[in-house]
Amino acid sequence: MNAAIAERTIDIEGLPTRYLTAGSGPPLVLVHGVGTSAGEWSWVLPALARSHLVYAIDLPGFDSSARPPDYSPAFSARFLSAFLDALEVERPVVLGNSLGGLVALHLALSEPERVCALVLSDSAGLGRAVNPAQAVLSSPGGGELAATWAKTPAGATERAFQRGLLLFARPWQIPPKWLEDQYRLAQMPNFMEATLASLRANIGVAGQRDVLVDQLPRLTMPTLIVWGVEDRVFPYWQGKEAVTLLQEGSFELLPDCGHLPHVEQPRLFASIVGQFLGEMSSSGDASGSGPIEFEGGRGREEETGRRDRAANNLKRKDHR
Amino acid sequence: MTTVHLKPVEEQVVALMGASSGIGREAALRFAKQGAKVVVSARGEEGLDSLAEEIRREGGEGTPMVADTSDFEQVKAVADRAVEEYGRLDTWVHLAAVGLFATFEQTTPEEFERVIDVNLMGQVYGAMAALPHLKREGRGALIHISSVEAKRSLPFHSAYGASKHGIDGFLEALRVELKRDGCPISVTQVMPGTINTPFFDKGRTKLGVKPVGVPPIYEPETVANIILYAAENPVRDLVSGGAAQALILNQRLSPRMLDAILATRAGFSPQKTEEPRSEDDPDNLYAPIQGHDTAKNGFRAFSRSLYNWLQMHPTVKRGATLGTTLVLLAASQRRS
């Protein structure tokens, strides 16, 4: 890929924070979910960086970021806001997957003037339902047991296996680098503690704790909700229902895709996001660029075809 | 359907193949300590003599007998010796195995064949030699120690994994045949994960370093405990260590997914230590080597496994399963 990805570290409120950055253009900030790190964006980062200046942040506690005092999504949103201040990023598009979506949503609700547009991918916070496995993993005792076990090589292998089965529609096609990263991350100091604490902050026996559905009508910025149709963590109807509450929302359902569209369907995901960003800049205030183009025509045609099939009946645009 | 009733260990005559070191040594000592009469066998005379000495010191009764497990006549002689010495045979425990740590492409046909001869044919000969005696006695236990690799082979272990799969294979047929005949003999396969034994020092390695199994590593007594349990309780399979059970479950869920993970660093790097070792260093593939006649190796290991404890306390296990199910059920009720 042609976009060079730089890895940098910056001090945010006393916490050394790692982030990846690439490209140039209007700013786009990527926020990852629980139990992973900014590196998980590497499958879409080069494509997105062709039209945008992309920042992918490590949420505090994950990978090389330091341990925060608090793992709640609201705290992470304030942390994200401080990150934008420190880097002097003005009105970026904020894109979050899973828990990262909830963090982005918190930021958009608390400081709407800071967020130019929002992309929520298989996001937390849009319904109570969650895979019961997550509730077991966050249970008292069960969580500690799983976290301790995951730090051993066999446990890290087991964790990568279970996450693979849970998060992907086609687990045996998972990119080796993703498995390699998961295996490495679980054995890093503090990583499993951060994962468990974040999980507990968000999920209890009765499902997701932090549901923001009733606040969605307050959002004024353009918002794209993207979901893998085979997401086994959060069911896709959460996104489908959420979009009806948005002032300016659209919904895209991805075929053959689980909880991590940016890893399992990177081309399709980047092209959908690229089109959303392109439409925004052509109709609105953001200075900018057209939809993201891909190298390799054949692949693109194929992806577009699949996308149209999936999106046919499900795409909605609710303008007030 | 016959129910198999096994004698208490203190009333048993037990023969163990592969007792000079590792799990076999630990199990032999425990059987003897609990009052069983043991016949202990292996290729290495020194290891057997020191074991017999240790058994005597502990006040136990044991007979050492040198035998190569890859030769049926020698294995049969061990079974016969138990009957000559103590009048009968109640439990046959077969452990003898060699290790070969190399990729398939680094393995020669002779090496592969030798691993099969010792690890698989040895176990077959053990069952063949012991069965007539157990049948004559009217009850008894065949306990075959294979490996978690009886269900899932790991990289660097093509020959080893094949030999262990073979044990699983012949035992499944044998078990059903005995059942059909109403034969009150218990056939147990014990599948350990990584155990802290001299196995890793004695095997042939082409990895350039001393090999080790994927952690978590358990002490030999964790397996010895479940072998003694199987001598009194007719159980089909016993997996030693929760990690081994997890691997087997994963294999059942999605072998393809497990392939994908094991093809990364996760399958390879945990099998290597930092300690350099050459393939020309002495190994026990064809003949016994000296200086490893202990139960334990020097790895850091767990001496207890909660998973094994639950396996040996089936009532507690059922209770725990029921409890967990109820809690989950209650939680899902609250949710909806």
Strand order through the sheet with B13-17: B61-66, B37-42, B13-17, B91-94, B140-145, B185-192, B237-240
Q: Which residues of B touch A153 (CB under 8 A)?
A: 214-215, 266, 269-270
Catalytic-role residue among B86, B125, B160, B229: B160
Residues of chain B contacting residue A156, judged by C-beta atoms under 8 Å apart: 266
CA distances from A174 to A154, A160, B191 (A): 19, 11, 30
DSSP H stretches of helix in chain A: 45-48, 73-86, 99-110, 132-137, 142-150, 153-167, 176-186, 191-202, 237-243, 261-264, 266-283, 297-311
Residue B183 is predicted with a pLDDT of 93
The neighbouring-strand residues paired with B205 are B101
Tell whether A248 is covered by a domain: yes
Q: Is residue A190 part of a domain?
A: no
B175: pLDDT strictly greater than 90: yes
Contact residues, chain A to chain B, C-beta under 8 Å: 128-129, 132, 135-136, 152-158, 160-161, 164-165, 171-172, 174, 176, 179-180, 183-184, 205-207
Which residue of A136, A155, A161 is in closest CB contact with B261?
A161
Across the interface, whether the CB atoms of A132 and B332 are under 8 A apart is answered yes
Give chain A's end-to-end CA distance (angstroms, integer). 40
Q: What CATH code is carried by the domain that includes residue A229?
A: 3.40.50.1820
Question: Residue A141: its pLDDT value, please?
Answer: 83
pLDDT in tens, B77-106: 999 999 999 999 999 999 999 999 999 999
Asked if A164's CB is within 8 angstroms of B257's CB, the reply is: yes
SS3 label, residue B9: helix
Structure-block tokens of residue B213 = 């199994």
Read off the CATH number of the domain in which B212 is found: 3.40.50.720
Q: Identify whether the C-beta of residue A171 lies closer than 8 Å to the C-beta of residue B255.
A: no
Lowest-pLDDT range, A183-192, A293-302, B14-23, B193-202? A293-302
Residues A88, A93, A94, A95, CA torsion sign: negative
A258-300 pLDDT tens trace: 999 999 999 999 999 999 999 877 664 444 444 444 443 333 3
A287 lies in some domain:
yes
- Measure the CA angle with vertex A189, ends A149 and B154; round to 5°: 45
Full-model pTM: 0.83
| Sequence-distant (≥ 6) Cβ neighbours of residue A176 within 8 angstroms | B260, B263, B264
User: pLDDT tens-digit profile of B96-151?
Assistant: 999 999 999 999 999 999 999 999 999 999 999 999 999 999 999 999 999 999 99
Confidence check on the interface: ipTM exceeds 0.90, yes or no: no
- Note whether B261 contacts A: Cβ–Cβ < 8 A: yes
Beta bridge partners, B291, equal none
Q: Which pLDDT belongs to residue B29?
A: 97
The answer to whether residue B113 is domain-embedded is: yes
3-state helix, strand, coil in chain A (%, to 5): 45, 15, 40
- Return per-residue pLDDT of chain A as tens, 320 residues: 445 899 999 999 888 999 999 999 999 999 999 999 999 999 999 999 999 999 999 998 887 667 888 889 999 999 999 999 999 999 999 999 999 999 999 999 999 999 999 999 999 999 999 998 888 888 888 888 889 889 988 899 999 999 999 999 999 889 999 999 999 999 998 899 999 999 998 888 788 999 999 999 999 999 999 999 999 999 999 999 999 999 999 999 999 999 999 999 999 999 999 999 998 776 644 444 444 444 433 333 344 444 444 444 344 343 33
Task: Dump the DSSP string for B155-211.
Answer: TTBHHHHHHHHHHHHHHHHHHHHHHHTT--EEEEEEEE-SB-STHHHHSEE-SSEEE
Nearest to B195 by CA among B271, B88, B123, B301: B301
pLDDT at A298: 37
Q: What is the pLDDT of residues B320-332, one digit of tens each?
A: 888 877 776 776 6
Comparing C-alpha atoms, which of A133, A160, A139 is closest to residue B247?
Answer: A160
pLDDT at B294: 93
| Residue at B58 is within a domain | yes
Q: What domain count does chain B have?
A: 1
Omega into B216 within 30° of 0, i.e. cis? yes
Residue A240 within any structural domain of the chain: yes
User: Does B28 fall in a domain?
Assistant: yes
CB contact under 8 A, A164 and B261: yes
Predicted pLDDT at A305: 41
Is a pLDDT exceeding 50 seen at residue B184? Answer: yes
Q: What is the H or E stretch that residue A117 is in?
A: strand A117-121
Within 8 A of A184 by CB-CB distance, chain B residues are: 265
In a domain, A101, yes or no: yes
- Tokens 């209007």, residue? A26
Q: Please tell me whether residue B36 adopts helix, strand or coil conformation.
A: coil
pLDDT-derived band at B198, boundaries 50, 70, 90: very high
Contact between A45 and A269 under an 8 Å Cβ cutoff? The reply is no
Report how far residue A58's alpha carbon sits from residue A40's, in angstroms, rounded to the nearest whole number: 10
Structural domain including B168 reads: 9-304
Query: Would you say residue B331 lies in a domain?
Result: no
Domain count for chain A: 1
User: Is some CB atom of chain A closer than 8 A to the CB atom of B248?
Assistant: no
Tokens 């990527």 sit on residue: A30
Active site residue B286: no
B328 touches chain A (CB under 8 A): yes
Query: For strand A15-22 and strand A53-57, is the pairing parallel, antiparallel, or unpaired?
Result: antiparallel
Chain A positions touching B258 (Cβ under 8 A) are 161
In a domain, B119, yes or no: yes
Look at residue B96 and tell me if it is in a domain.
yes
> What is the domain range of residue A31?
6-130+209-319
Contact A117, A280 (CB under 8 A): yes
Phi, psi dihedrals of residue A118, rounded to the nearest 5° = -130, 135
- Tell me, yes or no, whether B202 lies in a domain: yes
CA–CA distance, B58 with B32 (Å, rounded to integer) = 8
User: How far is A280 from chain B, CA to nearest CA, in Å?
Assistant: 39
Token couple for B79: 């079974």
Residue A199 lies in a domain: no
Contact of B320 with chain A, judged by CB distance below 8 Å, is answered with no
Task: List Cβ neighbours of A110 (8 Å cut-off, separation of 6 or more).
Answer: A74, A77, A81
Minimum-distance CB partner of B258 among A129, A161, A207? A161
H helical segments located in B181-295: 199-202, 220-232, 242-253, 255-262, 265-268
The C-alpha atoms of residue A63 and residue B185 are separated, in whole angstroms, by 54
**What's the gap between Cα A25 and its chain centre?**
21
Tell whether A177 is covered by a domain: no
Closest CA to B263 of A252, A175, A300: A175
Give yes or no for a contact between B98 and B120, defined as CB atoms under 8 angstroms apart. Answer: no
Task: Tell me how far the alpha carbon of residue A316 is from its chain's centroid.
Answer: 21
Is A92 a member of any domain? yes
Return the structure tokens found at A86: 């420190």
Hey, which residues does A30 pair with through a beta bridge? A56, A95
Stated as kind and residue range, the H or E segment containing B30 is helix B22-33
